[in-house]
Amino acid sequence: MGDALIKTQGISKEFSGVRVLDNIDIEINRGEIFGIIGENVAGKSTLVKILSGIYTPTEGKVFFEGNEVDIKDPLHAKAIGISIIPQEFNLINELNVYENIFLGSEITRRGFLKNREMKKRTVSLLEELKKSIHPEEKIERLSVAQKQMVEIAKAIAFDSKLLIMDEPTTVLTLNEIEILFDLMRNLKESGVTIIYISHKLKEVREICDRVLVLRDGKMISTSRTDEADEEEMARRMVGRELSQVFPEKVSPSEEIVFEVEGLTSHGLLEDISFGLRKGEILGFAGLVGAGRTELAETIIGIRKKDSGKIIINGRPVEIKSPIDAVKNKIAYLSEDRQGSGVITSFDMIKNTTLISLPAYSKILINSKLEKEKTKKYVDKFNIRAASLKTRLEFFSGGNQQKVSLAKSLDPEPEIFIFDEPTRGIDVNAKREIYRFMNELVREGVSCILISSELEEIIGMCNRVIVMKEGRITGILEGDHINEEEIMLYATGLKGVA
């Protein structure tokens, strides 16, 4: 292999004596798109954090452009031409878009910030990503997909030789993914090397030239993507054959337990009405901006409604805040696990029992009960962490998602709203979550499943509501739940526009 841009030799990493990466040798060429796949905690993020100066390896060497380098920190990495789009957003909420993009690398002249130029650059970067986000918009006002696009803009703002993407598409929809892939192909054309981490094996096959499989911190294989299909990749990741992904669907009862009537929030939601049956999984499909998350947030009282009713077991209820929602036995698993899902500076126990804290405290917080409960969830979801006391920021991305799930489950809900529950989760853990939803509906819990993964909507739901621009365009049942029909309603080619 003549034209390696980056090469590692015997890279290992330990955290407090625990080995999470073991003897990794990779060699990536100029202009190559190199995929890394593996289950949650396989060590993917740790490996790329080493390459981008966030972590130092315990053992091993890194060679860049033929020379051994000792990458000291992310700024050093950037200076030699390595930038990373991290798995967890690294944006400062209080600053605006262009300030974030140029943070630490501000354009200046004679010591003065050249704001106009930075704004102009920001607009053209976002144009390249086909996004019209105002350069002076505050980060906290952006949706997760927009935040992801800003992270991408930030990484491509400075010409780099190696661009690392740690699960950049988990929050993006098909259209946005296509835009990103076009950009990646253009970068590749111009000789940029890309490392691409994803749990979406179909995407990996589509965009990557070669793929590395990691399992428990070890290299399992490196192969060309045209030599291994998705099933083979999944097998290598898990280390054994995988059985059926989706469990058998359960038929719900006729009884309607939850109704939304004429829910309207000007500019966001227009006259939304539907009913949810006991033991049903009701899917919500649609493109980004269709208003599905906004609907969930309005139902649980994060957003104010302008008109409309919510009826539980035949009785109208007022839900003004997420606490009211919990009181009415509605749980919400947020799509933005960093924003409202979990608190990364708390440990797992604190996180899982956060919303039902009143139930644990007569006067003092009952820490023994808290701990027992948390242990139960650790087993149930196979959450892997050093200890119950480990702060969440040290968890792998997929494990943070599992904690966030445990947290919304703790008050024992009757109605459960899942918003993109399997985002960033590996194939095996996905199956666990599907099984678990199946168990819930068998016990009579009713579920709303908001998802951009059509496969998941089709595999799991009894009925599917399709939304477009804040309205319901179609309700599908039985054989009508298929990719084609969903897309027709989602794009407005079918149904009321």
Ligand X SMILES: Nc1ncnc2c1ncn2[C@@H]1O[C@H](COP(=O)(O)OP(=O)(O)OP(=O)(O)O)[C@@H](O)[C@H]1O
255 and 444 Cβ atoms separated by less than 8 Å? no
**Binding site partner of 15, from ligand X, Mg ion, none, Cβ cut-off 5-8 A by kind:** ligand X
**Which of ligand X, Mg ion, none does 160 bind, CB closer than 5 to 8 A by kind?**
none
Which option in ligand X, Mg ion, none does residue 74 bind, with CB closer than 5 to 8 A by kind?
none
Segment lying near Mg ion (by CB under 5 A), choices 80-88, 323-331, 369-377, 483-491: 80-88
In the complex, the smallest distance separating the C-beta of residue 88 from ligand X, rounded to whole angstroms, is 9
CA dist., res. 194 & res. 154, Å (int): 15
Residue nearest to Mg ion (CB): 45
- Residue 356 or 396 having the CB closest to Mg ion: 396
464 beta partners: 283, 476
Binders of Mg ion in range 354-413 (CB under 5 A): 397
Question: Which distant-in-sequence residues (6+ apart) come within 8 Å of 160 by Cβ?
Answer: 78, 81, 82, 83, 192
Q: Are 224 and 248 in contact (CB under 8 A)?
A: no
**Which amino acid is present at 65?**
E
Q: Which is nearer to Mg ion, 86 or 470 (CB)?
A: 86
Which of 76-79's residues contact partners 24+ apart within 8 Å by CB, and which partners?
77/51, 77/52, 77/53, 78/105, 78/158, 78/160
From 87-95, 153-161, 185-193, 337-345, give the range in contact with Mg ion by CB under 5 A. 87-95
Least CB distance to ligand X at residue 135 (A) = 30
- Tell me how far, at minimum, the Cβ of 312 lies from Mg ion, in Å: 38
Closest residue by beta carbon to ligand X:
398
Tokens of 110: 């004679």
Interacting partner of 40 out of Mg ion, ligand X, none (Cβ under 5 to 8 A depending on kind) = ligand X
Identify which of residues 35 and 470 has a Cβ nearer to ligand X in the complex: 35
Q: Which of 54/487 has CB closer to Mg ion?
A: 54
Q: How far is the CB of 76 from Mg ion (least distance, A)?
A: 22
Q: How far is the CB of 52 from ligand X (least distance, A)?
A: 13
Q: Which is nearer to ligand X, 5 or 41 (CB)?
A: 41
Per CB under 5 A, which region of 39-47, 139-147, 407-415, 436-444 contacts Mg ion? Answer: 39-47
Q: How far is the CB of 433 from ligand X (least distance, A)?
A: 13
Least Å distance, CB 40 to Mg ion, is: 7
Residue number with CB closer to ligand X (170 or 473): 170
Task: Name the one range near Mg ion by CB under 5 A: 53-61, 85-93, 324-332, 457-465.
Answer: 85-93
CB of 84 to ligand X, least distance (A): 13
The residue among 35 and 43 lying less far from ligand X, judged by its C-beta, is 43
Shortest distance in whole angstroms from residue 148 CB to ligand X: 15
Residue 43 binding partner per list ligand X, Mg ion, none, with a CB distance cut-off of 5 to 8 Å that depends on partner kind: ligand X
Query: Would you tell me how many other CB atoms lie within 10 Å of the CB of residue 80?
Result: 15
Piece in contact with Mg ion (CB under 5 A), picked from 86-94, 156-164, 289-297, 467-475: 86-94
* Stretch of residues binding Mg ion (CB under 5 A), selected from 37-45, 121-129, 263-271, 406-414: 37-45
Contact (CB, 8 A) for 358 and 374: no
For ligand X, give the closer residue by CB, 21 or 282: 21
Under rule CB under 5 A, residue 87 binds Mg ion? yes
Residues that bind ligand X (CB under 6 A): 15, 20, 38, 40-46, 87, 384-385, 394-399, 426
Q: Which is nearer to ligand X, 361 or 390 (CB)?
A: 390
Smallest gap from Cβ 390 to ligand X, in A, equals: 7
Q: Least CB distance from residue 384 to ligand X, whole Å?
A: 6
Contact positions with Mg ion (CB under 5 A) in 40-69: 45
Binding site for Mg ion (CB under 5 A): 45, 87, 397
